[in-house]
Amino acid sequence: MLLSWTVVNEPWKAPTEADKLSNPLANDPKAMTKGRKLFDAYCWVCHGATGKGDGPSAAALKVRPAALHSALVQSQTDGAIFWKVTNGRGEMAPYVHSLSDAQRWALVSYIRSLKE
């Protein structure tokens, strides 16, 4: 179900229980590399090659994709980012059925590497 324009323009907050989720790949040195490959396959077209929200499809979206290197994203818990990748919102697809839990956690690991 798509959310209305009004809801999508509100700040996107994961539920508080998402903050309790812990990245099982946080100490896996290969997770970031796996996450980068997944990012290049699924995410760059909107979030941009370096995660700045400036991908080739970004201009056509109603809501600009998040700049993944920003303090706004990086200040979130791994669990919150995982929850957002899992569930999506508005034009951001949910990846719960497309990517395994391990793949979504690898994406979180890669997103963490994009700090400013």
Taking only the tens place, the pLDDT of each residue in 34-85 is: 999 999 999 999 999 999 999 999 999 999 999 999 999 999 999 999 999 9
Give the CATH number of domain 28-112; options: 1.10.760.10, 1.10.8.60, 2.60.40.10, 1.10.1660.10: 1.10.760.10
Report the share of the chain in percent with pLDDT over 70: 91
Strand pairing partners for 89?
92
CB contact set of 61 (below 8 Å; sequence gap of 6+): 46, 91
For the entire predicted model, the pTM comes to 0.89
Q: How far is CA 23 from CA 68, 103, 111, in A?
A: 17, 11, 12
Taking residues 2-10, report their average pLDDT. 48
Q: Name the residue ranges covered by the structural domains of the chain.
A: 28-112
In the chain, the DSSP E strands lie at none
Confidence of residue 116 (pLDDT cuts 50, 70, 90): low
